Amino acid sequence: DPIKLLAALGIRYVGKQTSKLLINSFGSIENIMKTNPEDITLIHGISDTVANSLKEYTPTQNPYSINHWRMAISSNASIRVN
């Protein structure tokens, strides 16, 4: 579930509800990460703070999470998030 996965990446201000808005708007985590902050803020309920947090996020901030992200993107694997 990409919504749960995005929420679990540890990106500041991106929880389950924000993840749902983002995935529903952009379709995938990869698309979100490629989108510029200005386009992200066009989504009702997404603030500049969230958009900037996504822009500043680098996978090396949490190597454990990026390995899960890569695995999910490459194989459509299911990852359980508590």
Q: What is the pLDDT of residues 54-79, one digit of tens each?
A: 998 866 656 556 566 666 666 655 55
Query: pTM score > 0.85 for this model?
Result: no
| Across 49-56, average pLDDT | 93
- Long-range contacts of the stretch 13-20 (C-beta < 8 A, 24+): 13/47, 13/49, 13/50, 13/53, 14/50, 14/53, 14/54, 17/45, 18/45, 18/46, 18/50
Chain mean pLDDT for the chain: 82
Residues in the chain: 82
